[in-house]
Every structure is written in C-alpha cells, then in structure tokens.
Amino acid sequence: MNIGEAARASGVTAKMIRYYESTGLLRPAARRNNGYRDYGAVDVHELRFIRRARGLGFEMAEITELLSLWRDRDRASRDVHRVASGHIEALRTRIAELQGMVDTLSTLVACCHGDDRPDCPILSDLGGGLGAGQPLDPAKRHRYRAGISG
C-alpha cells in the first residue's frame, strides 16, 4: 500500500510516517519502481504500535526501545517491564508537578477579586512579585482578599 493507505490503516498521518522513517524509528519502506513508498501489514502494525505508545505518553527514545523489544521475539519481559515502570514514575512526577500548578493557580484565582481594581495576584505572581512559582503566603493572601496591595 502507498503512504496514504498506510496512514489511513494505521491512524498515523503521512507526515508522521515520513518523520518516523527519517528518525529511524520506523524502518524505511520499500520503494516501487516509480519511487513511491510501499508499506505492508507489518509496517501498519508497527505504526499502530507507535501511535498507541505515543498515546500513553512514552518519549521517542522509550518507543524506540519498546519497538526494538517488540521486534525481538527472544526479549526478556523484564526489559519491557523496566521501560514501562520508568515511564510510570515519570508520569507520577509529572502529575505531581501539574497538581502543584493547579494548587498554586487555584490559590491565586481565589485571591483575585476579578473586579475593576487594577491589582491582581495572578499577574503579580506571573511577574515575579510574589516569588514566582511559590505558594501565596497567608499574609499576602489576606492583603489581596482585603484589597490591600503589597
């Protein structure tokens, strides 16, 4: 099948298929006499594998390793387990970081009056006035809620 057909069958865009080939993630497709790429069922299956791994948030290096392990029928499952376990830890770290962002922004939004006053703890924090990235301390929270700047 040509690249458009492979894209439709795998759910991966033709542009991404070319990218995966250029980075070595996907083996270069065979070429027809006219120079067009020619994909088979194995290629489509690998593209689906890549799409699913990306959907689970694996980094390209991890996908490369997983795809290599998937292709190797003599692999040890411990190697796959190691990659997946490492990814879980990275996801947990990212979730904690995102939760910290939600908590900080929630506090700032709660302290912002959202009225006609020009002072705003959200903008002040973004500008570094509150110690960017640091939680709003209780004294400043009280001052903002009371409409006192500083």
* Element of type H or E holding 38: strand 37-38
Least confident of 67-76, 82-91, 127-136: 127-136
DSSP character at residue 33: T
User: In which residue ranges of the chain is CATH 1.10.1660.10 found?
Assistant: 3-56
47: number of Cβ within 10 Å: 22
Name residues whose C-beta falls within 8 Å of residue 1's C-beta, 6 or more positions apart in sequence.
9, 38, 39, 40, 44
User: Can you name the CATH fold of 3-56?
Assistant: Multidrug-efflux Transporter Regulator; Chain: A; Domain 2 (1.10.1660)
Report how far residue 136's alpha carbon sits from residue 150's, in angstroms, rounded to the nearest whole number.
12
Encode pLDDT of 56-72 as tens digits. Answer: 999 999 999 999 999 99
Report how far residue 138's alpha carbon sits from residue 117's, in angstroms, rounded to the nearest whole number.
21
Q: Is 147 left (phi over 0), alpha (psi -120 to 50) or beta?
A: left
pLDDT value, residue 136: 54
Segment 7-14 shows an average pLDDT of: 97
Give the amino acid at 28: P
Encode pLDDT of 105-133 as tens digits. Answer: 999 999 998 899 888 989 988 888 644 44
pLDDT value, residue 140: 55
**Helix 60-71 vs helix 41-55: crossing angle, to nearest 10:** 140
Segment 95-114 shows an average pLDDT of: 94
pLDDT value, residue 117: 86
Q: Which of 105, 66, 103, 71 is nearest to 85 (CA)?
A: 66
pLDDT value, residue 61: 96
